[in-house]
Amino acid sequence: MTDQLAGRTAVVTGGSGGIGSAICARFVREGARVIALDLAGDPSSDDVATVDITDEAAVTGFFTELADRWSALDILVNAAGIEIEKTIEETTLEEWNSVFAVNVTGTFLTSRHALPLLRRSSGASIVNFGSYDGFIADPSLAAYCASKGAVHALTRAMACDHGPEGIRVNAVCPGYIDTPMLEGFFAGGDVESLQDAIRDVHPTRTWGTPDDVANLVTWLASDEARYASGQLWVLDGGLTAQVQQMHPRS
């Protein structure tokens, strides 16, 4: 490793999940000091904090305590997210609000309350998590698609507002990534056929891994990305670069 993040401090929401844990592990290998926020966190660990990012009091309390431990925060990664596989007709208001609470409001709250510490950094970076579903739509993911579109717009707004303070803001927008969400999709039918279908629809003929995402997030958090801000970085194996393929009828 190159120690791209040597001496940096980082907070990663959803840090116990597949992608979040890969980001935390990569940051540590690159020399950063990292705290993962997650509802499944271990309260006895200094590296993991159990925080409900939809609860403003909990978020405020976490960053107040962090300010007593760290002089500054260099990196905030908002990786926590949930999805519900339903159309708008099938989605209840409670489910809609739940998706937006985690994906959008959680991103807003952690970013808002991290700002005082981020301003103390010599060059801070916020990395939000959008999705290719914020550009195009998968069937039966209405609330998720809408929430990721909101994160995309919020990312641009934050970059404009806080760039003059030395805080860069970008969003990573993954496509199909090898996580429990993807495994759940495969479990819905003939696993081998579904895996082949997913591979074939990608120009790269493969789906991504959490480490692929961690690679991009690490670069965006580093000084090498000092001129990168306000952008939506799609990581999808070329999926959204192509038109839907036509197959002749038999």
pLDDT at 144: 97
Q: Is 176 a catalytic residue?
A: no
Widest pairwise Cα distance in the chain:
68
Burial of 193 (0-12, 13-18, 19+ CB in 10 A): exposed
Residue 250 has pLDDT above 60, yes or no: no
| Given the residues 132, 144, 176, 227, the one annotated as active site | 144
CATH of domain 9-233: 3.40.50.720
pLDDT at 43: 59
Residue 237 has pLDDT above 60, yes or no: yes
| Rounded-to-integer distance, Cα 33 and Cα 46, Å | 11
pLDDT at 85: 94
CB atoms within 10 A of CB 207: 21
pLDDT at 243: 83
Helices and strands (H, E) in the chain, number of each type? 8, 7
Instruction: Out of 107-116, 130-139, 181-190, pick the least confident.
Output: 181-190
Strands (E), 86-123: none
Please tell me what DSSP assigns to residue 53: T
Instruction: For the chain, give the mean pLDDT.
Output: 92
pLDDT digits (tens, 9 = 90+) for 65-112: 999 999 999 999 999 999 999 999 999 999 999 999 999 999 999 999
User: Inter-axis angle of helices 142-162 and 93-100, to 10 degrees?
Assistant: 30
Residue 1 has pLDDT above 80, yes or no: no
Average pLDDT over residues 230-242: 95
pLDDT at 172: 98
Q: Which of 212, 12, 20 is nearest to 125 (CA)?
A: 12
Backbone phi, then psi, for 238, in 5-degree steps?
A: 85, 5
Q: Where are the domains of the chain?
A: 9-233
pLDDT at 22: 97
| Rounded-to-integer distance, Cα 109 and Cα 53, Å | 7
Q: Which of 37, 104, 34 is nearest to 74 (CA)?
A: 34
**pLDDT, greater one: 226 or 193:** 226
Average pLDDT over residues 147-169: 98
